[in-house]
Amino acid sequence: MDDLEKAILIMFDESGTVDSELKQKAKDYCDKIKEEQAICSVCIEKLCFSNLVQVQFWCLQTLHEVIRVRYSSMSLDERYLIRKSVFSIACFGGFDDKSTVRVLEGPAFIKNKLAQVLVTLIYFEYPLVWSSVFVDFLSQLSKGAMVIDMFCRVLNALDEELINLDYPRTPEELAVAARVKDAMRQQCVAQIVRAWYDIVSMYRNSDEELCASVLESMRRYISWIDIGLIVNDAFIPLLFELVLVGGLSEQLRGAAAGCLSAVVSKRMDPQSKLPLLQSLQMRRVFGLVAQDSDSELVSNVAALLTGYAVEVLECFKRLNSEDAKGVSMELLNEVLPSVFYVMQNCELDSTFSIVQFLSGYVATMKTLSPLRETQLLHVGQILEVIRSQIRYDPMYRKNLDILDKIGREEEDRMVEFRKDLFVLLRNVGRVAPDVTQIFIRNSLATAVGSSSNWNVEEVEAALSLFYAFGESINGEAMRTGSGLLGELVPMLLSTRFPCHSNRLVALVYLETVTRYMKFVQENTQYIHMVLAAFLDERGIHHPNVNVSRRASYLFMRVVKLLKLKLVPFIENILQSLQDTVAGFTSMDYTSKELSGSEDGSHIFEAIGLLIGMEDVPPAKQSDYLSSLLTPLCQQVEALLRNAKVLTPEEAPQKFANIQQIIVAINSLSKGFSERLVTASRPAIGLMFKQTLDVLLQVLVVFPNVEALRSKVTSFVHRMVDTLGASVFPYLPKALEQLLVDSEPKELVGLLILLNQLICKFNTLFRDILDEVFPAIAGRILNVIPVDALPSGPGSNTEENRELQELQRTLYTFLHVITTHDLSSVFLSPKSRSYLQPIMQLLLFTSCKHKDILVRKVCVQIFIRLIRDWCAMPNGEEKVPGFQSFIIENFATNCCLYSLLDNSFEFRDANTLVLFGEIVLAQKVMYEKFGNDFLVHFVSKGFPAAHCPQDLAETYCQKLQGSDIKALKSFYQSLIENLRLQQNGSLVVR
């Protein structure tokens, strides 16, 4: 053993006994040898004389690399040496007569590497240099199985490395592949096909594995060789015989089926394709799929039949003659029962899409109206396929019920997977509504009739089908219960499945009942059944908390829909919900899993919608509301009384309870209109006012509990909508408490509340706003800086994000004040001291803020203030100093200098909107200030921006004209001209 062989053995050692340093040395040594000029001779010699597979592998790998990288720089002699040696080795020879080693006797990975080396030579040399490679190989096949096997490996490697377009190819590789295929077609494909036939015929009874290898190679080549070489009286009968003979190995039979699949899916003109498909007489293999569904043969035959069905359907769609369509439909009708069986019982080839194929078939059915008996039969089978495909695997039953991580993943996967199948179901429902409804009825009946718990998945699938079918029914058909709906909906409502305790079954049951509510709306005799489904253990009283929460939400939707029709049932409903209502505020709501949009509060919204109707007698309404509000308020009062003795351990639970109570009352109030509580039944309004009184105490007792402040703020929002202007007496106290020790995040909530109040009440809100504005302005101006907030690395902190949000909300608040005729609030004696800092903040922001929309809001505020506070030219000043501030600061800095900065991007849509507001501001300033504005802007601002005199004069003309569009267009071109001269060097002051 020489040094190279030793180094190779060390490098490939996997025993763990060789240290990494030695391995690296061995690798370096081998890499150094690779660089030698005579490396190819070294490799060939080792291949002929070394029995070590590691050495053989390294030599073949090195040859492969060297040919690929250095081929163009090799001498003709070196190329000849490699070609002659490698081919000789591949044909069970050696380099010369002295060779003792036969590489073909080695393991498969060595032979595959040898095939790869040969294919690399073919890449560079066929057909121009080495034109005889395939013919020479064919002449060597008589040496027996080893050479035949090697020939198959070369053909397979050629397909993988060069020809097969399933792999990404470079333009150069595509050109070489075309060259190789063209030469092979011309020179040797017919001989290769003949060899395949002879080998399979000769070895089928003695070496089935070799025959399977030959057919596997052949399958790869059928897509691009002349189909007539395969589809003939010799080869097709042989392939079918191999598939159908029971005594042969599954591997060989499957390989023959694979070749037939390649024949079926070969790309051809449909007029030639249809006779080919017809000639195959595919019915011969239909029976094979009913055998053991896990076998390799069955999956190959399944791929053959599905591929065949796809091609026949394609012919039907693309051929126009009646005869061709008739033949296609006949073939399709013949194969479809087997295809449906395959879809339900077999593992399918990943390239075949069940949904795509069935959608295509259903689309063709639309052209066959009315459907014939065969097609109606097929509809039933398609529905069976859909049902089998949407069924959950029972192995996940427990995971899905408790919804652990595995269950959640499986549910998400199935939701996604089902989308296309449900679209298919809707299409089937439109093509054959009667068959679909009968199928759904039978599925439900089977599910109802089952007395055991084993059928969770069947019940869930049957209900999901009924739910999805609802999407294909229009409103009118739903209301009248056309077809079998009049039977199906009552059947659904009266059903109690043995597996109703399962989460998935319970959820889809409730969703389905909700979907068909329009039918119940018209057929009120079923209302009591709907209420039972929601109020018993199938719904709100279901043992699984996720189901009962969802039931609460869906029940609220049902109440919204049925509303008036539920008045006679209110008493019973409230009685049924007593325990749920009581439990809502006493459970441990600090648990994370119960938070979110379905927190159970929808049950209070449903109750509010029921008892808040004017059709409920006043006395009853008061009793109902009082029986709900009184205990809730008493709970809050008790908690507030005992606030001082709360231990740190108790506090989180008590705070959570208060939160839940506020959420419950909030939801309850949604059912009561402002008109009812303020005009027609003020006694109801009084109850809500008393509740507001109690809940405002929460802010006094727990001023620093952010979660409680947030919930009370939300309740005040609600009461603004419910109580209207009668909420005013409570607002000063509420707003004062919300300001205490408020952080930026809480200030945002307060400003949003004030915005709601201003938008709802306009100038009616002036007195209260006058009172609270100074405190709010003082608090906010203490928190946010007058100039820009920090930016750049390290600035994206929670604190900074909250300040940015507060800043944005403040500008919205100031905008709302000015656009609702309340700008006088800024001028009240208490607020006057904040006017100057607010103006400075607005000025800085209108010029420099990164958010263009925020700048636009600030410019709009200035426009409104100019209109409110400034009289016509030479009029009396309403706000001393404001006019000069606008002319000297806002006009030049915002309307001129800020636009000259290159960051002002005219191609951006939002920036153009801001620009429009800036031009409008100039128009308004000219209207209000006349020449005072114009003279200052043109004589002070323009010279600083190096504006030529003629352009300044044109600007004056445009401003004084009435066409604002012309002004805007001119001003944009002016700014762009000035910018070119300045190169963005002017600084906004």
Task: Dump pLDDT digits (tens) for 18-72.
Answer: 888 999 999 999 999 999 888 999 999 999 888 899 999 999 999 999 999 999 9
Q: Is pLDDT of 449 > 90?
A: no
| 757 has a pLDDT exceeding 90 | yes
More confident residue, 979 or 194: 194
pLDDT at 496 exceeding the cut of 90: no
Query: Residue 8 pLDDT more than 60?
Result: yes
pLDDT at 987 over 70: no
Rounded-to-integer distance, Cα 172 and Cα 68, Å: 14
Q: What is the pLDDT of residue 758?
A: 96
Angstrom distance (rounded) from CA 916 to CA 965: 9
pLDDT above 90 for 3:
no
Look at residue 454 in the predicted model and tell me its pLDDT. 60
How far apart are alpha carbons 634 and 646 in whole angstroms? 17
Extents of the domains making up the chain = 618-740
- What pLDDT was estimated at residue 98? 57
Name which residue leads in pLDDT, 102 or 862: 862
> Is the four-CA dihedral 524, 529, 534, 536 of positive or negative sign?
positive
The answer on pLDDT for 392 being more than 60 is yes
Which has more confidence, 885 or 347? 885
pTM of the model: 0.80
DSSP state of 192: H
- pLDDT digit string, tens, across residues 907-935: 999 999 999 999 999 999 999 999 999 99
What digits encode the pLDDT tens for the residues 659-692? 999 999 999 999 999 999 999 999 999 999 999 9
Diameter of the chain measured on Cα atoms: 119
**Secondary structure of 540-571 in the HEC alphabet?**
CCCCCHHHHHHHHHHHHHHHHHHHHHHHHHHH
The answer to whether 305 touches 286, Cβ cutoff 8 Å, is yes
Q: Give the angle 553-559-563 at the CA atoms, nearest 5°.
A: 165
Q: Answer whether residue 821 shows pLDDT above 70.
A: yes
Q: Is the pLDDT of residue 390 over 70?
A: yes
Among 170, 120, 167, 149, CA closest to 216: 149
- 108 CB contacts (<8 Å, ≥6 apart)? none
What is the number of other CB atoms lying within 10 angstroms of the CB of residue 803? 19
**In the predicted structure, residue 145 carries a pLDDT above the cut 50:** yes
pLDDT above 70 coverage of the chain, percent? 95
**Mean pLDDT of all residues belonging to the chain:** 91
Identity of the residue numbered 339: V
Question: Residue 453: which pLDDT band, with cuts at 50, 70 and 90?
Answer: low
Per-residue pLDDT band for 988 (boundaries 50, 70, 90) equals very low
Region of residue 950 (left: phi > 0; alpha: psi -120 to 50; beta: else): alpha
pLDDT at 926: 94
pLDDT at 873 over 70: no
- Nearest Cα neighbor of 751 from 788, 802, 787 is 802
- Looking at residue 732, its pLDDT comes to 92
Task: Return the number of other C-beta atoms located less than 10 Å from residue 439's C-beta.
Answer: 24
Summarize the confidence of residues 455-471 as an average pLDDT. Answer: 92
Q: pLDDT category, 647, cuts 50, 70, 90?
A: confident
Query: pLDDT per residue over 944-983, tens digit each?
Result: 888 999 999 999 999 999 899 999 999 999 999 998 876 5
Which residue shows structure tokens 């009029």? 875
| Per-residue pLDDT, 984 | 46
pLDDT band at 594, cuts 50/70/90?
Answer: very low
